[in-house]
Amino acid sequence: MLELRGVTTAYGLLEAVKGVDISIRDGEIACLIGANGAGKSTTLLTIAGVLRPLRGTIALEGHRIDGLSADNIVQRGVSLVPEGRRIFPDLTVAENLSLGAYARRDRAAIANDLEWVFGLFPHLAERKGQKGGTLSGGEQQMLAIGRALMAHPRLLLLDEPSLGLAPRIVEQIFEILVEINRRGTTLFLVEQNAHLALTVAQTGYVMETGRIVLHDRADRLIKHPQVRSAYLGE
């Protein structure tokens, strides 16, 4: 579904992502783990079109998207749940969700997706008239995921969905992510909680200083000595 080949992204003269190759199959959950500052978020922002790669290519279902604008990439079926949630705090839950569907014109399907999101996140349904900024951290993360789903993506990019949340809420959110994947959406997950990410994913990548240093099936990576030492605290 997604192919990155030799992707390099820079901030000025600083190359944050260096010659990255990533391949994600349709229908799977793939994860990208690594230390803070490794280039994981930059990788997602580059796929989503927020940043332009300096070199390399990105293809979605065989068609290059690395030259497209972020809104065009959303219309091609890619949605990003950014680090830190980035909801609109002064807008209501319902208004935040409606903005996720800004590029769509299929009103009946939008209504169906809204009901699906409310079914996944009943707390949001109960608070749809409440301003986003008044929600708890977990509810804001649910809102950010729901907003991305309202674009009806085939590929959902998630940047640190567990960041700053209580373990019980993290478990709940990851159960929902697995359900979203079961419904047919491909997930690419950046996550500091390496054990959790590798437990739900089928494929894993390890990034260090902007480069992919390990790539394997997730169930193999979780047993890899380097991963266990550096990221699982063993």
In tens, the pLDDT along 206-219 reads 999 999 999 999 99
Question: 112 is written with which tokens?
Answer: 């169906």
Domain boundary assignment for the chain: 1-69+188-234
In tens, the pLDDT along 53-70 reads 999 999 999 999 999 999
> Minimal CA–CA distance to 232: which of 200, 205, 192, 202?
192
Distance CA 194, CA 7 (A): 23
Question: 110 is written with which tokens?
Answer: 């939008």
| Per-residue pLDDT, 197 | 95
Find where tokens 């079926």 sit: 77
Mean pLDDT of the chain: 94
How does DSSP classify residue 232? Answer: S
Q: How many residues does the chain have?
A: 234
Distance CA 204, CA 202 (A): 7
Average confidence (pLDDT) over 8-23: 96
Q: State how far the alpha carbon of 219 is from the alpha carbons of 23, 87, 106, 121, in Å.
A: 17, 34, 40, 29
Strands ordered across the beta sheet of 203-208: 78-81, 155-159, 186-190, 29-34, 203-208, 211-217
CB-facing half-sphere around the CA of 42: CA atoms within 13 A: 25
Question: 126 is written with which tokens?
Answer: 């109960």
Distance CA 171, CA 226 (A): 25
Find where tokens 């790539």 sit: 215
| Per-residue pLDDT, 84 | 84
**CATH architecture for the domain at 1-69+188-234:** 3-Layer(aba) Sandwich (3.40)
| Per-residue pLDDT, 20 | 98
| pLDDT interval class at 234 (50, 70, 90) | low
Average confidence (pLDDT) over 177-205: 95
